[in-house]
Amino acid sequence: MASTSPIEKDQPNTSEGSVTVLGRALSSVITAGREILARRRPNLTAAEGSTQALVDLCKELIEHRGEASGLALAQEITEAYLELSAEARLEFFQRLASDFDIDREALLEATERYRDDPDYDKLQAITRATEAPRQKLFRRINMAPGGTRTLVALRGELLQLLRQHPELKPVDSDLKHLFIQWFNKGFLELRNIDWASPAVVLEKLIDYEAVHEINGWEDLRGRLREDRRCFAFFHPAMGNDPLVFVEVALVDDLPDAIAPLIDREREIMEPGKFNTVVFYSISNCHPGLAGVSFGNFLIKNVVEVLKKEIEGLKTFVTLSPVPGFRRWLNKADLSELVDEALIDKVRAPVNRTVMEAEVQAALTRLCAHYLVREKSGELAKDPVARFHLGNGARLHRLHWGADLTPKGLEQSGSIMVNYLYDLDKIEINHEEYFDEGKISAAKSVLRQLPQD
């Protein structure tokens, strides 16, 4: 039977209706603004795809004072940016770094004036001098319809270029600084996503799922059945485009494999038997928001929502991948961690066939070592471990053979991890992790560590 998508509702909810009214008002203002600009610039014909034309528009926007014409100008910039080729966008990023950077001489002069007479006004002059003009530019672009979305996409493309073009780091730093302000917790809306949600939202879940692929509408329907939940954070400027979402399984025992959790043919458990909440997939939806933390707020908010909704929930746990394990394994010096005779075997690709028990045990011990002892600075080396431990979770259990998908075998040799969110100890674990670099781990995990 062919899969079909759900039908999007014709009637918006109250908040969507408010956004529509605001959108119409902005559209009217921008139309008036375009007319004003046309009268002021009757002979202006910016070359399509021209970086210089876009830079000129940006400089005009920074100096612009009119509200309606300013919004129209900001929209012109977003439209012009989207028309640029990849090569022209790189050139535009480089111009943002050079033409819209801080004025070093002005900053030095402001500093000298404050040194001679350290009053508040001169301190404020230093503050103004340390802000690059491109921050003002980004704030004004952000006011236009679609401006926030365009800036998020712009940073996503910028991040891909940083390794080869480190001169662009100041532009990235300014965007990240602004995004942390614009996307703070107070502006986020938590929504429960179910099969009745708008089709545009459900399509986004399929597109953005980054941990366990959703293979079409029927697969998605299985993940939204009565024993499953999905929650997402939204932002007013991004409409029905989620920022981050988490998929949740309601079960009666600690999970030790991913396949039963996402099996769409599974038997549905009676609601009264639920006692365990499993966070089995967290997906950040926009590369341009990297470094802007949402997931920690999301999990804690979802815990509170589910506690109120369902009686009898006692355990809150993840079933998480270990994405950095095999990458570390293939580069690390294992001579002090495993018998020499096993080194080549543990580094060999893992497949679905039965593996020697000795090799399985060695890989599990090495994974425990990687999660507990391998650090990036003072924090865990593995990115998923760093996220959950930073939230105050405990490294609770390791499971061999938990993810037999090609991705799971390639990244972690089939191993997955339970991180336990003990609500009475979350804050203590969080403080000890960041203050002391201490990783909270269950005794069963510590016993698996290779002996020194």
> Quick check: 414 pLDDT over 70?
yes
* Residue 243 near residue 235, CB atoms below 8 Å: yes
Q: Is 444 a catalytic residue?
A: no
Lowest-confidence pick of 38-52, 136-150, 304-318: 38-52
Query: Averaged over 376-404, what is the pLDDT?
Result: 95
Q: Which fold has domain 325-446?
A: Aminopeptidase (3.40.630)
Please state the length of the chain.
452
The ranges of the chain annotated as CATH 3.40.630.150 are 325-446
Q: Which of 369, 388, 396, 399 is catalytic?
A: 388
Whether pLDDT at 383 is above 50: yes
Tell me which of 69, 197, 281, 320 is the catalytic residue: 320
Domain with CATH 3.40.630.180 in the chain: 189-316
d(CA 86, CA 387): 33
| 320 labelled catalytic | yes
Q: What angle do CA 229, 235, 261 make, to 5 degrees?
A: 20
Residue 353: pLDDT above 70? no
Q: Kindly report the CATH class assigned to 189-316.
A: alpha beta
CATH match of 28-182 with 1.20.140.90 = yes
How much is the pLDDT for 23? 62
In the chain, which residues fall in CATH 1.20.140.90? 28-182
Residue 66 CB partners (closer than 8 Å, separation 6+): 33, 36
SS3 call for 30: helix
Mean pLDDT, range 258-263, rounded to an integer = 95
Q: How confident is the model at residue 7 (pLDDT cuts 50, 70, 90)?
A: very low
The residues, ordered by sequence, that sit 6+ positions from 287 with a Cβ below 8 Å of its Cβ are: 155, 156, 159, 160
